[in-house]
A and B are shown apart, each in its own frame.
Chain A
Amino acid sequence: MKEVQVDVNRCVGCKSCEIACAVEHSRTKELFNAVFEEITPRRRVFVQAAGECSVPVSCRHCEQAFCIRVCPTGAMYRDEASQTVLHNDLRCIGCGFCELACPFGAVARSAGSKLVVKCDRCPDREIPACVGACPTKALLFLTPEETQRRKRSALAEQMCLPEEWRSEAGGQRSES
């Protein structure tokens, strides 16, 4: 199952993901119209500054989802098919427990209301809007295996010395 992954080194803090997220969760799904909608569309990803770095933060769709556990009405639930943590507006009473429980601050409120909104991983899209909008590929949509392989492969490339250096570094030549 693919998840939204973050390559922190590549985030330049442009907030393109935030805008794309709000537009995707608007009625018209189109930027120029979305800004004029009566119910202001909300973003569910937040670019958080940390010193010189910036990190896009959104729901991790946790296995042990505290937000689901604390929700008194069952508004917060796990969708078995997609394994995502989703939120049902109709059941939400706006108590904010899920907001308190989330370790990442990834649960937000609707405009002018106490009802909450959160990442639904864009069920209508192949790739979540935030990932599609990221101009630097800081946001990626990969399986955990792909993510780890990507890291290992980067490390391997770094470790790979030019051929002429290999024996000195104690490596073995394939022909020997």
Chain B
Amino acid sequence: MGERSIDKASLEMINKAAQDGIETAWDRYEKQQPQCGFGLLGICCRNCNMGPCRIDPFGDEPQEGVCGATADTIAARNLLRMIAAGAAAHSDHGRDIVTTLYETASGETQGYQIKDEEKLRALAVEFGIPAEGRSKEEIARDLAREAMEEFGMVKGTLHFLNRAPEKRRQLWDKVGVKPRGIDREVVDVMHRTHMGVDTDYVNLTLQGVRAGLSDGWGGSMFATEFSDVLFGTPQPVKRQSNLGVLKAEDVNIVVHGHEPVLSDMIVQAAKEEELLAAAREKGAAGINVCGMCCTGNEILMRHGVPVAGNFLQQELAVVTGAVEAMVVDVQCIMPSLPTVAACYHTRVISTSPKARFPGAEHVPFSEQTAWDTARKIVKMAIDNFPRRKKELVRIPEEKMEYMAGFSVEAIVKALGGSLDPLLDAIKAGQIKGIAAIVGCNNPKIRHDYGHVALTRELIKNDVLVVQTGCAAIASAKAGLLLPEAAEEAGPGLGAVCKAVGIPPVLHMGSCVDISRILVTAAAIANALGVDMSELPAAGAAPEWMSEKAVSIGSYVIGSGIFTVLGTVPPVLGAKKFTELLTKGAQDVLGAAFAVETDPLKAAGLILEHIAAKRKGLGLES
């Protein structure tokens, strides 16, 4: 594979880790080689105790599991369970936000307030909740209750589906994939993938799409929209990214994980004069709160907090020896962190009742005592500052400025109040189309290379790129989130970016904020009077690894948008199922998956797709 990362700061810390005798994900990945062929191909089943069963991928015996399940049934069931886990993770995050809004409106939380009343009132109208003459708390309580209903759901379908174009909703009805409640679709997946229930890979796939849609247009969208109400709707902000944001003279706190509920409070607490004084007393110049992964994205979008890195940099942040506390909540937190931290002075502090890590300190977090807990955690970091092992400290110099905060509202504002200038640019061919590049890091592909190479190739060809998650952090570090990156864009996109003063790559938030991309795509489709599948748009997950990414893939396809995966999903041992995902889905949903591990070739696929869609809309290519 050559070097493990394209990022100099990461390479420096990978070397330091080796010198310090620390194993990282890359080392563990090597030790896992060769990985199990049955697992890679998706044809092992552990769903009942007659198994485990495996199908021979080369046509030899056995071709069926003990129960008679074929490769297609097994791979489809396995993928469905990945979708369910991913949808559950996103949606449970959404539920936490909804609950926080409800409790805040009821005066039961500490330190939170409703920051975006305008958005709250707009959502109230959307949900048919009376807003006239009522306080924001009253409205928020009703809205949050309505949202809670949609998790269990008894009546009809999800409200946010109405944001999709009419044609898409009709297609969902026709195909039978309209979600009937957020939790229900996850439960349905777990039921039908149980031994002896659904064995038809086509029927299974449709349920996978439905569960995905319940995430994208349900759980994730609630997470985004209600976080905006609580913490403020993002507006463009500038700050810095990469491991170089850690400061030798400061108390460094890295907040890592996914939800903004705790991290937002830590950002506030770290500004408190009393705590700053305490830090100075311990010999530090200040308190430096940095983000990591999607928690990082949540707070950078709203507060312009520096972001220390993406998924594969979490261990490397600890390896700098300069992190006083790594504060984690849920999702994408490597179990290895306490082991790595044990070699330095770093305190790993877990906070969620759902996620505890042997070797970490646990400070239970609740919305009722959020402010006190946030202060306590900051204090723990301050107290740890004198324990820093000076001889082990090395902070890479690399840091890069970014511009982020592109919520849908911010994009509309940047365009002068409507999406029209964007539509005009697309129609005129200045901008050929839009590509959403999202997802994780994965040691199967050189760190950040998949994201950055694909992004560069697309903007060079006048494709506007929108990003979230670890992909967006990769772009931040590569300097692609700056208006000056317009120089790297093709002449059309470059000119538009310069005129409007935006980067050619727009950071739209955390992984639940892919819902912002759905909303944007739906708004464009509505403005053009077409289905989302007719748009010159594509999705890509060049370095994906998590089950959440599988859920995302299924709702992006389910929303009619062609998606290229950069790491191979565990399905290739099932021929008919693979055929369905990569071809058959096109006829049913108007979009299908492609798998391409070379990001430059992936760019080729996307450009080809965009050209075809432009032709379909009668636009010049």
Contact = CB atoms under 8 A, between A and B. Distances in A.
B54 interface: yes
A23 B59 CA distance: 13
Interface of A: 14-16, 18-20, 22-23, 31-32, 34-36, 40-43, 111, 132-133, 135
What secondary structure prevails in chain B residues at the interface with A? loop
Contacts of B59: 40, 111
Contacts of A16: 34, 36-37
6 contacts: A14-B36, A16-B36, A22-B58, A31-B37, A40-B59, A135-B36
Given A22-B58, A31-B41, A135-B34, 14 more contacts: A16-B34, A19-B57, A22-B57, A23-B37, A31-B37, A35-B41, A35-B58, A35-B572, A35-B573, A36-B575, A40-B59, A41-B58, A43-B58, A132-B34
Contact of B60 (A20, A43, A135): A43
B38 A19 contact: yes
List 7 tightest A-B contacts by C-beta distance, closest first.
A19-B37, A22-B58, A40-B59, A133-B34, A35-B57, A40-B58, A32-B572
A126 to B, nearest CB: 15
Contacts of A111: 58-59
Nearest to B36: A16
Interface of B: 34, 36-38, 40-41, 54, 56-60, 568, 572-573, 575
A34 B40 CA distance: 13
A36 B310 CA distance: 35
A122 to B, nearest CB: 14
Nearest to A19: B37
B58 A42 contact: yes
A42 B40 CA distance: 18
A163 B58 CA distance: 55
A15 B34 contact: no
A132 B37 CA distance: 13
A141 to B, nearest CB: 15
A165 B568 CA distance: 58
Nearest to B54: A15
A3 B54 CA distance: 29
Contacts of A18: 56
A20 B34 contact: yes
A127 B380 CA distance: 52
Contacts of A14: 36
A84 to B, nearest CB: 23
B570 to A, nearest CB: 10
A31 to B, nearest CB: 6
A31 B57 CA distance: 10
Contacts of A133: 34
Contacts of A19: 37-38, 57
A108 to B, nearest CB: 9
A93 B37 CA distance: 33
Contacts of B37: 16, 19-20, 23, 31
Nearest to B56: A18
B38 A15 contact: yes
Contacts of A22: 57-58
* B58, B59, B568, B575, most chain A CB atoms within 10 A: B58
A68 B413 CA distance: 81
